[in-house]
Structure 1
Amino acid sequence: MGEVFVRSSLVPVLLILTVLPLFLSITPSIAWRPWPNHYNSSDLQFGGSKKYEGSSEFVHLKYHMGPVLTANITVHTIWYGTWQKPQKKIIREFINSMSAVDSKRPSVSGWWKIVQLYTDQTGSNISRNVHLGAEKNDRFYSHGKSLTRLSIQSVIKSAISSSTNPLPINPGSGLYLLLTSDDVYVQDFCGQVCGFHYFTFPSIVGYTLPYAWIGNSAKQCPGVCAYPFAVPDYIPGLKPFKSPNGDVGVDGMISVIGHEIAELATNPLVNAWYAGQDPSFPVEIADLCEGIYGTGGGGSYTGQLLDGHDGATYNMNGIRRRFLVQWVWNHVVNYCSGPNALDQ
């Protein structure tokens, strides 16, 4: 559920823009990394009105009466494999930035405010508070360097049942984030997905816990899952953007982490906010905006982004760092939105 998909071939931009609204109405979103034909401008100048990025009268995002995360959200991270301290710092700051109150605009916390617009059946909004909880290091690859979707749940079980420093069991407001290092292969990684979320099965883990997995693609498929900080080898002449934190794999993970946390908050048990008729394959709030990072985004174009003085590309500010994070669907105005939109 909530999978960040990858696309294996290019489609003409005109065709994408023509069929996208209809496509979203009839089938779950096949989210993919877009291949841009524009470059960014540091002053965010853009001709013409592009307010309604990704908007469509055919998109019917509905609330299906399931729970959303209205209590303070605690993210429990499982670092599976070999992780460097600077890599962990980048990801931790991104998560902490969701609740930051004094970040420079456009900010990650401004992006999270869009997620907060979603409510449960009592009218309670998703919590504004997202913070890091206990973490678990699995540096010895307890389940090997090749994981299946089910064995991912076994890794989570090991983390919460460990004899030393087990993760707390928090089914009400906890999110379990399994991050695999760049030398770990996960089923369907690179070929089909860059990350996904679901909930654990009591038969495997003992509890129903919302979780997400995201992999570091730096060694396996950076041109797919770390785009646009890396580009596919089969597109000659296309230059990657400079990553804002100097780590292509981790900077590429950031948007996928944001994608999955937004969907975990709004659809933790796959019975809350989604579009489409099939709850086993829902189209969720980030799926609808995959590949859109700024005003004018859609088709093969990421949208208007920001270029730092050091040449790095980003669209949001965290507490001390910059990040590139995809937009999410705003159900109030019925289009994709982000804090760097030109009309805000």
Structure 2
Amino acid sequence: MVSSIAISASFLIIFSTLFSPSSATIPRRLAVVQTPATVLTYHKGAVLHGNITINLLWYGKFTPSQKLVIVDFINSLNNNAPLKRSVASWWQTTSSYKGGLRSIHVGKQISDEKYSIGKSLKDSDLISLASKSKGPGVISVVLTSADVNVAGFCMSRCGVHGSTRVNKGHNFAYAWVGNSATQCPGECAWPFAQQMFGPQTPPLVAPNGDVGVAGMIINLATVLAGTVTNPYDGGYFQGPASAPLEAVTACTGIYGSGAFPGYPGTVLTDKKTKVSYNAQGVNQRKFLLPAMWDPKTSTCKTLV
């Protein structure tokens, strides 16, 4: 059995009935009325905790600098540097969920630059690729390059996390995130690209000058938070298990205080480079991370 969670980086505004309750996407119809506070319920299932290894499978062509940015982001999750707004302080919100603070580090990395199963992938292909780096205490993450098409990519999702059974019923958790730079940056790399629908506000300047990778960081942050807090459909979520709101998807489109549909909220701007960010990481990296739902306050917690 495969359980997956679809995500979208952008906070789209569609004042119509495009949202289907059976869809795995986040709700897209936004009402201009005040909605009840989001509450993620713990469904008494397993969560991931303790020391967690992230194994990466790079599918397609990534430059060394692109790989380094993503690896630096993952390494930043455990960075104990005394920074007021850091990637690590963002990740510390997971300590409020059952299981406490998770320790994350990069493990094995596999590169598949020859597109071993082609440039058009379906869900079963993602699971097959992820299984190459599975193991105890591991989240197998598949990252696809900008020229790879994945079923549902851009149309209904920017990344996914799920689980499948192997070895006499043992579950292994996996995730996938794609580079949307040439396919749908307005959908999966907002607010670093103009969104496909709604207000056409000027995009923010992406860290490292790479819109595709900046979007991948947002979506990778989302699926990692969702994986550790709801790996097997019995953890923290709201709504149906087939299309839940989770730790970050419950706060879609929020990056700073004062956010509203089409506006990411107040973020920081580097005076020299004009890059927009809200968190700092290792090697002086800057990242823009989405808000995460905080069980202590039942609110979407931002760094700015």
Aligned residue number for residue 135 of structure 2: 170
Q: What is the Cα deviation at residue 338 of structure 1?
A: 2.2
Aligned residue number for residue 117 of structure 2: 143
Q: What is the Cα deviation at residue 244 of structure 1?
A: 1.3
Aligned residue number for residue 30 of structure 1: 26
Q: Residues of 1 paired with 2:143 and 2:95: CA distance? A: 24
The reply on whether 1:227 has 2:187 as its aligned counterpart is: no
Paired residue secondary structure (1:155): helix
Aligned residue number for residue 145 of structure 2: 181
Q: What is the Cα deviation at residue 281 of structure 1?
A: 2.1
Paired residue secondary structure (2:97): coil
Q: Which amino acid aligns with 2:293?
A: W
Q: What is the Cα deviation at residue 246 of structure 1?
A: 1.3
Aligned residue number for residue 324 of structure 1: 288
Aligned residue number for residue 155 of structure 1: 129
The reply on whether 1:100 has 2:79 as its aligned counterpart is: yes
- Structure 2: give runs of 5+ residues left out of the alignment: none
Q: Aligned-residue CA RMSD in angstroms?
A: 2.7
Aligned pairs for 1:295-314 (under 5 A) are: 295-309=257-271, 310-314=273-277
The reply on whether 1:125 has 2:89 as its aligned counterpart is: no
Q: Which amino acid aligns with 2:8?
A: F
Considering only CA atoms, is the larger Rg found in Structure 1 or Structure 2? 1
Q: Residues of 1 paired with 2:44 and 2:198: CA distance? A: 45
The reply on whether 1:196 has 2:160 as its aligned counterpart is: yes
Q: What is the Cα deviation at residue 170 of structure 1?
A: 2.1
* Shift in alpha-carbon separation, 1:67–1:206, aligned structure 2, 3 A: closer
TM-score relative to the length of structure 2: 0.87
CA contact (8 A) 2:25 2:243 kept: no
Q: Which amino acid aligns with 1:285?
A: A
CA contact (8 A) 1:228 1:240 kept: yes
Paired residue secondary structure (1:111): helix
Kindly tell me the number of residue pairs found equivalent between the two proteins.
290
Q: Residues of 2 paired with 1:272 and 1:234: CA distance? A: 32
* Shift in alpha-carbon separation, 1:103–1:81, aligned structure 2, 3 A: farther
Q: Residues of 2 paired with 1:9 and 1:98: CA distance? A: 28
**Bigger proportion of residues as strand:** 2
Aligned residue number for residue 239 of structure 1: 202
Paired residue secondary structure (1:255): helix
Paired residue secondary structure (1:209): strand
Q: Which amino acid aligns with 1:105?
A: K
Aligned residue number for residue 4 of structure 1: 7
TM-score relative to the length of structure 1: 0.77
* Shift in alpha-carbon separation, 1:210–1:80, aligned structure 2, 3 A: same
Match of 2:247 among 263, 266, 285: 285
Q: Residues of 2 paired with 1:9 and 1:93: CA distance? A: 29
- Structure 1: give runs of 5+ residues left out of the alignment: 16-22, 35-54, 160-166
* Shift in alpha-carbon separation, 1:330–1:29, aligned structure 2, 3 A: farther
Cα-to-partner distance string for 1:262-281 (whole Å, 9 max, x where unaligned):
010101111111112x2222
Q: What is the Cα deviation at residue 7 of structure 1?
A: 7.2
Cα-to-partner distance string for 1:215-239 (whole Å, 9 max, x where unaligned):
0011111122111212247779643
